Chains A and B, each alone.
Chain A
């Protein structure tokens, strides 16, 4: 069929975090440009299974860029060459016939490999559990329109809240810093009047947990913003730094 491609894939295979991994080469033929990157993986896995080999383990669920589960490091970039998309939203029309594509897992001390391209990102949940919430029990709420919130603040909070927790920011950072992820949650809640009440404790506790998980320091290179599929802005980091500074002089 016209436009179909033949590609060479070099894919990271690793049985578990206890064993060493390596890149293994797999040719794939007849790939339609309308396929998504993960559908191309489906084709490859189908071939491996029918041959009696073990398929490649990778995380995915929604396949529409919202759950944050998919996480492939493609040709040296988290979520591949296109800006503003997740791995599952990447389509094969972004590649051309004859290309070699190298696919690796997220690499960070805080994200150990589970198998092949699957990593453990539970560190993110542990950071959220330390303060990424507003302490309001069910049934305590007042009428939702009692606190008017300026549209600009609500919109800014929403933009920060759009983070899908994928970890691309960590994967791309040479220090494996989680600042973009953590700051997105801190900003979202700091921008809303409901969230102000606990702002001081929140930023301190989340940062402490972030350090404990083994994420590195932020050296402000801005690589995370470039690779974030949801356009989470560096301004969040600036805002969090202010919050953190204020919290520590209080």
Chain B
């Protein structure tokens, strides 16, 4: 029998969650007070889960590695959050959001979960607005929407280009309210280094106080990993510098299966790499594709400046290839198309690894509508441009400023140069319908789980998923487990399992210091990133992946022989933190390549060169691969594949077309 039980409730798709909610076991208020829950991570998923559980009466402890929970990487999300509110009266519905998400994910996600996600999406917006999140509004006082890639309705709510910041600060304020009330203990500047299992159930974690360096043991009746994604395995990504896989990876080594590790999202619109010194990449929100048109010169190797190239000499290749969706095709499609043009020699900028994102047409269009709005008759060309710029600034001002800050170029005058970059990881810890991993009592929420996005995530849906998991799913599903734990007294952290796990964490730290090698942690991280980007990035092949696996193994050996970790363990030591994270990234990188090698189809963000149509579009193989690949860690860098078959009952599975 398969070790995977997705625990999807019985009944019709629309009824599953409703039925579940009305039949799931509850925990009475008195018992909740003696049940302790550990939440690792304070991003949208962690903060919303922690505050909701604390409000319900559970005793909650939250961990994050930054100096404040408000700085979790969710803060950086720019573009928006989806919800099937249908405020625009453009035909949106729960079903449509569900359908778009399944299709956008290239039919590699679980119907029941995605339907639940779509059906709670409206509640998220209500909750956020009630907690003071200043989402964008129209003059009439109603909430405003924009469109995002992969959909034909306007369902994305936003706060300028700072949606993640505003949502996270909303969730954070709820969390801190519970801290103030004494219901949550907040442990900032703490890094989780292991989970502790006792008698087959997860019962706590080992964490390092990053200031004193001391290892600590923490007990919980249940542990929630809300530790974000692992895009930094590529070294360069749009993730924050500290984003890492350690929490999820350590859980994986303690029995939690890792789902679809090779499914990574390469975002089409990022600022291109400018040199060797580059430490991270900056996203230019996908919302820009609403108004920006993407093009390259028609002429091969054209070296002229953008504004010297006439309209007729420009190739708006997305509009050409995908007339139905144009610049709003999903991310994976847009990214591959950019790579294709650049590889073929049509790229722009000094590196030739970039394409243009041009706002000239939008500025002109908005100029006219604004002139009418303001009642200016016969405006001059300069006035029109000025009006247009004002509208664009209102919509995207902070993004334009960020672009100019980084590149030194003014995007109101010159088209932006953009190129795809690693952005999001659809893969993550495998979870069932309850969001529980294969270890009882250990949950994964937000980007850390293998998630509802299948092989490709649509824009504005990660924020939705993080908050859905934390605000509206886990408060119910955790009851199914904790209602059976009420008789379990808090286990002493002197228990041998805690002692052993702490010893193990200490040994890894000691080992890192003992190497006293010659190369910095970053040196290894950059090399890993290059292998991953070249061979497990936008296009993957059997040959490349096999090489990558061999190279990563060699790199792992070299790391453990030659890395240099300065300073000491009992101190604030960012290099030590990085070393531990990179050690885990190296192991994860190998598993990602193994997973990519196994999946000989192309789907979503995973493009196998051997599996494409004559026109170069991705070719899925539903007969063979309509499953979630969940990997079990058998120790010694060996992994065993388990398959969760995906059944599509409400949706007819079809090759994706955005033409």
Contact residues of A with B, CB < 8 Å? 16, 32, 34-36, 38-39, 42-43, 46, 48-50, 52-55, 57, 59-69, 84-85, 89, 91, 93, 114-115, 118, 120-122, 124-125, 128-130, 132-145, 147-151, 154-155, 157-158, 161-162, 164-165, 188-189, 192, 194-195
Q: Tell which of B76, B177, B188 has the most Cβ of chain A within 10 Å.
A: B177
Given A140-B130, A148-B141, A115–B571 Cβ distance below 8 Å? yes
Q: Is the CB of A50 within 8 A of B518?
A: yes
Residues on B with beta carbons closer than 8 Å to the beta carbon of A124: 68
CB of B540 within 8 A of chain A? no
The answer to whether A138 and B51 touch across the interface, beta carbons within 8 angstroms, is yes
- Shortest Cβ distance from B310 into chain A, in angstroms? 30
Partner of B129, one of A35, A115, A118, A194: A194
| A-chain residues with CB within 8 Å of residue B518 when the two chains form the complex | 50
Task: Contact check, B241 vs A55: say whether CB atoms are below 8 A apart.
Answer: no
Of the residues A93, A115, A150, contact of B572 by C-beta under 8 Å: A115
- Known contacts A133-B131, A134-B132, A194-B132; A61 and B73 CB within 8 A of each other: yes
Which residues of chain B from 21 to 80 have any CB-CB distance to chain A below 8 Å in the complex? 48, 51-52, 55, 66-71, 73, 75-76
Judging by beta carbons under 8 Å apart, are A144 and B125 in contact? yes
- The answer to whether A60 touches B241, judged by C-beta atoms less than 8 angstroms apart, is yes
Chain B: interface size category: 35 or more
Flag if B522 contacts A154 (CB, 8 Å).
no
Inter-chain contact count A-B, CB under 8 Å? 221
CB of B180 within 8 A of CB of A130, answer yes
Distance in angstroms between the alpha carbons of A114 and B571 in the assembled complex:
10
Q: Which of B66, B129, B137, B174 contacts A61 (CB 8 A)?
A: B66
A138-B127, A165-B70 known; 16 other A-B pairs, CB under 8 Å?
A16-B572, A35-B277, A36-B279, A42-B522, A63-B279, A65-B402, A66-B76, A68-B70, A85-B405, A122-B188, A128-B176, A144-B143, A155-B137, A189-B132, A192-B134, A194-B132
For residue A121, which residue of chain B has the nearest CB? B67
Distance between Cα atoms of A61 and B169 in the complex (Å):
17
Q: How far is the CA of A61 from the CA of B240 in the complex (A)?
A: 5
Residue B530, interface by CB 8 Å: no
* Other-chain contact of A145, B69, B142, B274 (Cβ < 8 Å): B142
Residues from chain B with a CB closer than 8 A to the CB of A42 are: 277, 279, 522
Q: How far is the CA of A135 from the CA of B174 in the complex (A)?
A: 7
CA distance A143 to B637 in the complex (A): 50
Q: Are A39 and B279 in contact (CB under 8 A)?
A: yes
* Chain B residue contacts of A64, Cβ below 8 A: 76, 280, 282, 402
Query: How far, in angstroms, from A134 to B128 measured CA to CA in the complex?
Result: 10
Chain A residues closer than 8 Å to B575, beta-carbon distance: 49, 55
Binds A, one of B159-167, B484-492, B494-502: B159-167
By a CB distance below 8 angstroms, the chain A residues around B162 are 66, 162
**Nearest 6 pairs of A and B residues by beta carbon:** A148-B141, A129-B180, A133-B173, A141-B130, A141-B126, A158-B134
- B67 A38 Cβ-Cβ under 8 A: no
Main secondary structure of the interface of A (DSSP, over half): loop
Name which of A57, A136, A162 has the most chain B CB atoms within 10 A of its CB: A136
Q: What chain A residues lie within 8 Å of B200 (beta carbons)?
A: none
| Bound Cα distance from A135 to B518, whole angstroms | 54
* Chain A residue contacts of B137, Cβ below 8 A: 149-151, 154-155
**B residues 172-198 with Cβ under 8 Å of A?**
172-174, 176-177, 179-180, 186, 188
- Give bound CA distance, A114 to B173, whole Å: 25
Pair B566/A49 contact, Cβ less than 8 Å: yes
- Judge whether A57 and B141 touch: CB under 8 Å: no
A67/B71 in contact, CB under 8 A: yes
Interface residues of B in 398-449 (CB under 8 A from A): 401-402, 405-406, 408
Q: Which residues of A contact B375 (CB under 8 A)?
A: none
A138 contacts across to B, CB distance below 8 A: 48, 51-52, 55, 127, 174, 471-472, 475
- 1/0 per residue, CB under 8 A from A, across B185-217: the answer is 010100000000000000000000001000000
A34 touches B68 (CB 8 A): no
In the bound assembly, the distance between CA atoms of A79 and B128 in angstroms comes to 31
Provide the residues of chain B in CB contact with A65, threshold 8 Å.
Answer: 402, 405
Q: List 17 A-B contacts (CB under 8 A).
A: A43-B277, A49-B564, A62-B76, A64-B76, A67-B240, A118-B572, A122-B67, A129-B177, A132-B176, A134-B131, A138-B52, A145-B87, A145-B143, A149-B141, A150-B141, A151-B137, A158-B159
How long is the Cα–Cα vector from A228 to B374 in the complex, in angstroms? 33
Q: How far is the CA of A69 from the CA of B141 in the complex (A)?
A: 34
Taking the closest CB of chain B, its distance from the CB of A46, in whole angstroms, is 6
Asked if B567 CB lies within 8 Å of chain A CBs, one says yes
Minimum CB distance partner of B574 in chain A: A57
Residues on the B chain within 8 Å of A36, using CB: 279, 406
User: Could you tell me if A148 and B67 are in contact, using CB atoms closer than 8 angstroms?
Assistant: no
Contacts of B136 in A (CB 8 A): 154, 158
| B133 / chain A contacts, CB cutoff of 8 Å | 161
Q: In the docked arrangement, what's the CA distance between A59 and B282, Å?
A: 19
- Chain B residues with CB under 8 A of A140: 130
A114-B572, A151-B137 known; A133-B132 Cβ under 8 A: yes
Given A34-B275, A35-B277, A49-B566, CB of A136 within 8 Å of CB of B131: yes
Residue of B nearest to A129 (CB): B180
User: Out of A32, A67, A84, A137, which one reaches B76, CB within 8 Å?
Assistant: A67
B405 touches A91 (CB 8 A): yes
A63 close to B131 (CB less than 8 A)? no
CB distance from B124 to the nearest CB of A (A): 9
Decide yes or no whether B242 CB sits under 8 A from chain A.
Answer: yes
B390 in contact (CB, < 8 A): no
Decide yes or no: A142 and B130 within 8 Å by CB, A62-B240, A64-B402 being known contacts. Answer: yes
Report chain A residues within 8 Å CB of B139.
151
Taking CB atoms, residues of chain A closer than 8 Å to B164 are 66
